[in-house]
């Protein structure tokens, strides 16, 4: 799992990671900014995701759409935002590497002169429409908002979703957006990875030429916050859905922390795939659910585990809850079988290999190098990351489940068809979701 690379840091603080791969005549350009929705504050949310849109709208020396020149040169490109980081990437033919670097550097160093009130208003409307499509008008789409709001206190940076609150997006002014950009989108808070068919000396020279003169910006300190659950919170709300759905969520360790890998494997063996414990019981044997899934959502300062199951027609969420609680209790008491541990390790290793099959895009070598560099300061963390999963034992997994998937310290959310509050899991109170 070792990946050869060279790391350089420009005088302005920009980390540059170079990985040669001449297997195919393409180059991946991948930029990470260490900023996400956790860098926002109550009343001022949605800024990081808004910039994901604004940075495709042109910069001072190319005040037009970002896609056309690169796509015209044969590139694919995109970007994304989550709670902890924002990334942008292009995969280009080698002769378009300079174009990609110039355009990335121009929006890093010269975005604000081209960021007008008209562009800002237009993209804010786009984001509000995206929120309606992906959350408000999507069946079960408001569940993440309800879960995060219940798991994390109002002043915690994971209390809100990445897309932000409607009132905040409507109230934000252009000067606030400019200030947010100056605080976070600069070389001292960024990492650039190149992977593919290039000459490293030439590539580093181009990077220095286009990025080296950009003002460094101020170093951004780590975000610190804590959250805890002292008891169970049971919530429900009505939605335009056909079938009731049940969610469990617990606070868990942050990414790379002790217990993170154990819970990754635990959620897999509980509810991912047709051989998982909960799928066998809920969907295959008892047929009281149409689907079930689980995940350990690893984030930089805290994580949360989630189990989701949709009730089959004429079956109750209380039935599903009883089975899930029973399986978690059995796993916490008895631990997994050797076969389950082995299968989980193999799946983890397969996922690592899958991520390294490409050089760019979402995932791929360039993206993974940047992830380790931004979160850990160590692009060579591949082997140690995989070793976390090989180090999981039946005993350590059992202890992690017993400690973190505590039935007395969780959020239980029911989403039921409109007019059928009676279908919510017992003891639930109405959730306020906006």
Per-residue confidence (pLDDT) for residue 3, from 0 to 100: 87
* Mean pLDDT computed over 169-198: 97
Mark whether 185 and 262 lie in a shared domain.
no
Mark whether 62 and 137 lie in a shared domain.
yes
Domain end: 180, 211, 242, which one? 211
Domain end: 176, 211, 246, which one? 211
Total domain count, the chain: 2
User: For residue 330, is it within any domain?
Assistant: yes
Mark whether 137 and 282 lie in a shared domain.
no
User: For residue 111, is it within any domain?
Assistant: yes
Mark whether 49 and 120 lie in a shared domain.
yes
* Mean pLDDT computed over 101-107: 98
Mean pLDDT of the chain, nearest integer: 96
pLDDT level of residue 2 (50, 70, 90 thresholds): confident
Mark whether 205 and 279 lie in a shared domain.
no
Q: Is the dihedral angle over the CA atoms 359, 361, 366, 367 positive or is it negative?
A: negative
Domain end: 211, 243, 260, which one? 211
Mark whether 131 and 52 lie in a shared domain.
yes
Mark whether 246 and 277 lie in a shared domain.
yes
Per-residue confidence (pLDDT) for residue 21, from 0 to 100: 94
Query: Residues 364-387: pLDDT tens digits?
Result: 999 999 999 999 999 999 999 999
User: For residue 324, is it within any domain?
Assistant: yes
Mark whether 206 and 238 lie in a shared domain.
no
User: For residue 222, is it within any domain?
Assistant: no
Mark whether 204 and 242 lie in a shared domain.
no
Q: In this structure, what CATH number is given to the domain that contains residue 117?
A: 3.30.830.10
pLDDT level of residue 432 (50, 70, 90 thresholds): confident
* Mean pLDDT computed over 201-230: 96
Q: Does the pLDDT value for residue 348 go beyond 80?
A: yes
User: For residue 220, is it within any domain?
Assistant: no
CA distance 254 to 297: 9
- Please name the helix (run of DSSP H) or strand (run of DSSP E) that holds residue 91, with its range, or none: strand 86-92
CB 392: neighbour CB atoms within 10 A? Answer: 22
Query: Residues 277-324: pLDDT tens digits?
Result: 999 999 999 999 999 999 999 999 999 999 999 999 999 999 999 999
pLDDT level of residue 153 (50, 70, 90 thresholds): very high
Q: Which residues contact 308 (CB under 8 A, 6 or more apart)?
A: 143, 245, 246, 247, 248, 291, 292, 293, 294
Q: Does the pLDDT value for residue 252 go beyond 80?
A: yes
Mark whether 324 and 199 lie in a shared domain.
no
User: For residue 349, is it within any domain?
Assistant: yes
The 8 Å CB, 24+ separation contacts for 380-385 are: 380/2, 380/3, 380/5, 382/1, 382/2, 382/3, 382/352, 383/1, 383/2, 385/256, 385/352
User: For residue 136, is it within any domain?
Assistant: yes
* Mean pLDDT computed over 180-191: 98
Mark whether 262 and 376 lie in a shared domain.
yes
Mark whether 23 and 70 lie in a shared domain.
yes
Q: Which residues pair with 92 in a beta bridge?
A: 27
> In degrees, to the nearest 5, what angle opens at C-alpha 12 toward C-alphas 6 and 16?
20
What domain range includes position 44? 6-211
CA distance 388 to 348: 10
Helix (H), strand (E), coil (C) string for 24-88:
CCCEEEEEEECCCHHHCECCECCHHHHHHHHCCCCECCECCCCHHHHHHCCCEEEEEECCCCEEE
User: For residue 138, is it within any domain?
Assistant: yes
């Amino acid at each position: 799992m070792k990946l050869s690379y060279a790391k350089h840091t420009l005088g302005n603080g920009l980390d540059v990671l170079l990985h040669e791969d001449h297997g195919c005549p393409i180059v991946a350009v991948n930029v990470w900014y260490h900023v996400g929705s956790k860098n926002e504050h109550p009343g001022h949310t949605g800024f990081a995701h808004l910039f994901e849109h604004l940075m495709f709208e042109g910069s001072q020396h190319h005040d037009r759409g970002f896609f056309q020149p690169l796509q015209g040169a044969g590139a694919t490109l995109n970007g994304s935002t989550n709670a902890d980081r924002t990334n942008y990437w292009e995969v280009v033919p080698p002769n378009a590497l300079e174009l990609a670097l110039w355009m990335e550097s121009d929006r890093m160093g010269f975005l604000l002169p081209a960021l007008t009130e008209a562009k800002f208003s237009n993209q804010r409307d786009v984001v509000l429409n995206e929120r309606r499509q992906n959350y408000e008008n999507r069946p079960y789409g408001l569940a993440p908002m309800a879960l995060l709001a219940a798991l994390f206190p109002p002043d915690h940076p994971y209390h809100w979703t990445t897309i932000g609150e409607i009132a905040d997006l409507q109230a934000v002014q252009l000067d606030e957006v400019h200030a947010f950009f100056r605080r976070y989108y600069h070389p001292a808070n960024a990492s650039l990875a190149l992977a593919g068919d290039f000459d490293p000396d030439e590539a580093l020279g181009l990077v220095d030429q286009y990025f080296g003169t950009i003002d460094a910006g101020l170093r951004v300190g780590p975000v610190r916050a804590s959250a805890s659950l002292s008891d169970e919170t049971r919530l429900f709300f009505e939605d335009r859905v056909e079938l009731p759905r049940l969610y469990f969520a617990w606070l868990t360790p942050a990414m790379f922390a002790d217990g993170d890998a154990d819970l990754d494997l635990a959620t897999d063996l509980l509810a991912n795939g047709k051989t998982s414990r909960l799928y066998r019981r809920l969907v295959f044997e008892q047929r009281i659910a149409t689907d079930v899934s689980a995940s350990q959502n690893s984030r930089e300062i805290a994580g949360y585990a989630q189990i989701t199951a949709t009730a089959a027609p004429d079956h109750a969420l209380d039935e599903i809850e009883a089975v899930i609680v029973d399986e978690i209790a059995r796993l916490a008491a008895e631990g997994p079988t050797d076969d389950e541990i082995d299968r989980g390790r193999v799946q983890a290793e397969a996922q690592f290999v899958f991520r390294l099959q490409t050089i760019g895009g979402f995932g791929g070598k360039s993206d993974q190098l940047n992830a380790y560099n931004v979160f850990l300061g160590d692009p060579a963390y591949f082997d140690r990351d995989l070793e976390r999963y090989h180090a999981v034992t039946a005993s350590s997994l059992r202890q992690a489940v017993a400690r973190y998937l505590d039935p007395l310290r969780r959020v239980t959310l029911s989403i039921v068809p409109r007019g059928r509050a009676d279908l919510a899991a017992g003891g639930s109170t109405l959730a306020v979701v906006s």
